[in-house]
Amino acid sequence: EIVLTQSPDTLSLSPGERATLSCRASQSVCSSCLAWFQQKPGQTLRLLIYDTSTRATGIPDRFSGSGSGTDFTLTITRLEPEDFAVYYCQQYDNLITFGQGTRLEIK
């Protein structure tokens, strides 16, 4: 099983700042096999990025994904108030597993 470890667990930033979230895999993941999701309280999960760097339909371009091998990153430039949420990564190279989540909170 591929274990995904996200860091940090909690990230405190202010609107307008840049957020960098990390997802590290216990073994190499194919470059088109990693996704990122957003979850807000009381709402369903929302796909942001798939295949490491492809934005899902309707996702603003302030969200971007990058990485390869075992290290992947979700970057949110110019944080908006609605971006404060929990973010999860998912790998689908070897079945499906998820990271433990990073909580992005307002500083």
Segment contacting other proteins (CB under 8 A): 16-24, 41-49, 59-67, 68-76?
A: 41-49
Residues in the chain: 107
| Residue of 11, 19, 24, 50 interacting with other proteins (CB under 8 A) | 50
Which element (helix H / strand E) includes 44? Answer: none
Burial of 6 (0-12, 13-18, 19+ CB in 10 A): buried
Segment interacting with other proteins, rule: CB under 8 A, options 16-24, 29-37, 63-71, 73-81: 29-37
Residue 54 is encoded by which pair of tokens?
């492809």
Interface with other proteins (CB under 8 A)? 30, 33, 35, 37, 44-47, 50-51, 56, 88, 90, 92-101
